[in-house]
Amino acid sequence: MTDYRMNILVCGGTGCRSSEGATLHDELVSLLADKGLEKEIQVVSTGCFGFCEKGPVVKILPDNTFYVQVQAADAREIIEEHIIKGRKVDHLLYVAPETGKKVSDSKHMDFYKKQVRIALRNCGFINPENVDEYVARDGYAALATCLGEMTPEQVIKEIKKSGLRGRGGAGFPTGTKWELTSKSIADQKYVVCNADEGDPGAFMDRSILEGDPHSVIEAMAICGYCIGADKGLVYIRAEYPLAIKRLKIALEQARNYGLLGENILNTGFNFEIDLRYGAGAFVCGEETALIHSMEGKRGEPTFKPPFPAEKGYLGKPTNVNNVETYANIPSIINKGAKWFSSIGTEKSKGTKVFALAGKINNVGLIEVPMGTTLREVIYDIGGGIKNGKEFKAVQTGGPSGGCLTKNFLDTPIDYESLTEAGSMMGSGGMIVMDEDDCMVSIAKFYLEFTLDESCGKCNPCRIGNKRLWEILDKISKGNGTKEDLNRLKLLSNVVKDSSLCGLGQTSPNPILSTMDNFWDEYLAHVEDKRCPAGQCKAMMQYVIDPVKCTGCTLCSRICPVAAIEGERKKPHEIDPVKCIKCGACMEKCKFEAISVA
């Protein structure tokens, strides 16, 4: 018997919840109860729909109506109009930015048309706090197949055949990693899930754990079976409270069903998972630093080899994979390696999740087949650049990646192509920049981040990055010379070549890639002392056009440092020495007489 005739799916991801999504959910539930409809209509709190730009998001089934920016106050209208009378609430429908037309259901949204969801298959579809809904979507069937019908070697072979590569950034073949760990001989081995997502603006792993925690748990158990481990650990940052909460609920439910614990499905296989909390240090995403942090030591990397596959957590063989990598595993087992490897490009199989951020219309979470071009992601799915501005660059790979210009828009997204273009796949952060972004400032921003996050163990990273930052700072203040540019390049390469771990080996990438692609902009900063994007404050000069100025005195009254002088009804002047470039005068001038030179 179908219990309900309609479902109201309310996004329960962190993004939507922070804009009143939880209140909205409760309001819908209580209104339905008031109308006596609680047996006919089910309200489901799901994981992230990916359309974070317009959250909180509500989807109504079976008609697939997609409501955006829904407030708790809109709950009554949704129930009374849509649920009771079958009339869609017009003002909550999504408006397509290209056509300006309202889109009645999610099947007609460009945002979803080009997406293929494997890792996110259950996000925005099931209630992550209900294991039954996961089971209904073939949950734990892959684990049962592996335990009951396959040998560990067969499972590893299948994963290798699928071509799955690490989604944390480096792209190491997952099956090979499992094989290496399985061949290490020890009395105890560990399966570790790296949920220390640290790239600025990235939230792929968080969303998977919030929206579909069981997929990661199931995959870790499969990995344990393959490598011969009975213990799993999830290293997750403490700043992800909702993901932790859902993961705990999921672990509890899996234990109650006997899908974790001793003698799973009566096969004699034991597996248990614990959580370890990180303090949010970027370097702990590096696997050796992560392992040290879990051991209670300082989160500092050590030289490889030995690789964790030989000597990892507590000196025992350890397999470390990223959240998204694990989330792909159950589908590969259920649907077969052949199916998985039919998606993507020759060397990069399957899909990749990206967190779209920056100056893009549809900020959110997407999953596309490998080989999709940057243009398709930015324009077709992302809806193009905000406010009709010009696209300037896209940053992939976080602080370890690089900025790609519009010449690279047709680059297919796969590990090799992105590296060749001067950036990298990374964990999936994608930040879009428009004409108003200054590339020197962008490079400085990323370096500031790595400077903060450097653990300080090796000199090139600790001191080298600091010096790099100082040179960038000098350039952005208009004091740079051409000699500085050479030094910047040279030192960048030294830091890259001599740092101990991935953090230092990649931290100069944003500098190098912006220098490669935006050399003119660097030159303008040092030679003409000019910031073409008008972002570097130190180089800006506010001037008053004496023809347009009416001498109304408004600007001189508003200036916080009394840098503007002039007689009434006569053109005023700005003293560049006193001016702090706050822009207040320009904003207030009624005659558009003030501009930035």
Partner 1 sequence: MSKIKSLEELRKLREEVQTRMKLRENSDKSEDLVRIKVAMATCGIASGARETMRVLIEQLDQQGVDAVVTQTGCMGYCYAEPTVEVTLPGKEPIVFGEVKEERAREIIDKYVVNQELIDGIIPVNHQSI
Which positions touch partner 1 (CB under 8 A)? Answer: 1-7, 9, 61-64, 84-87, 107, 125-126, 132-133, 135-141, 144-145, 148, 253, 256-259, 265-266
Specify the 3-state DSSP secondary structure of 572.
Answer: coil
Residue 122 CB, shortest distance to partner 1, in Å, is: 11
Residue 88 CB, shortest distance to partner 1, in Å, is: 9
Helices (H) and strands (E) in the chain, counts: 26, 20
- Quick one: residue 76, left, alpha or beta (phi over 0 = left, psi -120 to 50 = alpha)? alpha
Which residues, 6 or more positions from 583, have their beta carbon under 8 angstroms from its beta carbon? 542
Residue 220 CB, shortest distance to partner 1, in Å, is: 18
| Backbone phi and psi for residue 167, each to the nearest 5 degrees, phi listed first | -90, 0
| E strands present in 238-296 | 261-264, 269-278
Residue 278 CB, shortest distance to partner 1, in Å, is: 31
Q: Which of 477, 426, 495 is nearest to 581 (CA)?
A: 477
Residue 461 CB, shortest distance to partner 1, in Å, is: 48
Residue 191 CB, shortest distance to partner 1, in Å, is: 21
Query: Closest CB to partner 1 among 142 and 234?
Result: 142
Query: Closest CB to partner 1 among 9 and 357?
Result: 9
Query: Closest CB to partner 1 among 131 and 442?
Result: 131
Under 8 Å between Cβ of 19 and 68: no
Which residue has tokens 């003030």? 594
Query: Closest CB to partner 1 among 141 and 558?
Result: 141
Query: Closest CB to partner 1 among 104 and 498?
Result: 104
Query: Closest CB to partner 1 among 259 and 544?
Result: 259
Under 8 Å between Cβ of 378 and 405: no
State how far the Cα of 54 lies from the Cα of 48, in Å rounded to an integer: 12
Residue 80 CB, shortest distance to partner 1, in Å, is: 12
Under 8 Å between Cβ of 551 and 571: yes
Tokens representing 289?
Answer: 């630093």
Residue type, 518: F
Query: Closest CB to partner 1 among 267 and 481?
Result: 267
Residue 142 CB, shortest distance to partner 1, in Å, is: 11
Residue 140 CB, shortest distance to partner 1, in Å, is: 6
Residue 92 CB, shortest distance to partner 1, in Å, is: 16
| Backbone phi and psi for residue 367, each to the nearest 5 degrees, phi listed first | -135, 125
State how far the Cα of 176 lies from the Cα of 56, in Å rounded to an integer: 41
Specify the 3-state DSSP secondary structure of 76.
Answer: helix
Query: Closest CB to partner 1 among 137 and 375?
Result: 137
State how far the Cα of 494 lies from the Cα of 544, in Å rounded to an integer: 46
Which residue has tokens 């159950």? 330
What count of Cα atoms within 13 Å lies in the side-chain half-sphere of residue 206? Answer: 24
Residue 480 CB, shortest distance to partner 1, in Å, is: 56
Residue 145 CB, shortest distance to partner 1, in Å, is: 8
For every residue of 298-326, DSSP letters joined together read: ------SSSPTTTS-GGGS-EEEEEHHHH
Query: Closest CB to partner 1 among 84 and 562?
Result: 84
Query: Closest CB to partner 1 among 106 and 361?
Result: 106
Which residues, 6 or more positions from 1, have their beta carbon under 8 angstroms from its beta carbon? none
Tally the residues of the chain: 597
Residue 213, preceding bond cis, omega within 30 degrees? Answer: no
State how far the Cα of 209 lies from the Cα of 215, in Å rounded to an integer: 9
Query: Closest CB to partner 1 among 85 and 590?
Result: 85
| Helix, strand and coil in the chain, % to nearest 5 | 45, 20, 40
Query: Closest CB to partner 1 among 149 and 567?
Result: 149
Residue 196 CB, shortest distance to partner 1, in Å, is: 32
Residue 407 CB, shortest distance to partner 1, in Å, is: 39
Query: Closest CB to partner 1 among 144 and 409?
Result: 144
| E strands present in 30-179 | 41-46, 58-61, 65-67, 94-95, 102-103
Under 8 Å between Cβ of 175 and 156: yes
Tokens representing 305?
Answer: 């080899």
Q: 278 burial class (0-12, 13-18, 19+ CB within 10 angstroms)?
A: buried
Query: Closest CB to partner 1 among 1 and 185?
Result: 1
CA distances from 501 to 225, 295, 400, 504 (A): 30, 19, 12, 6
Q: Which of 183, 186, 181 is nearest to 309 (CA)?
A: 181
State how far the Cα of 413 lies from the Cα of 429, in Å rounded to an integer: 13
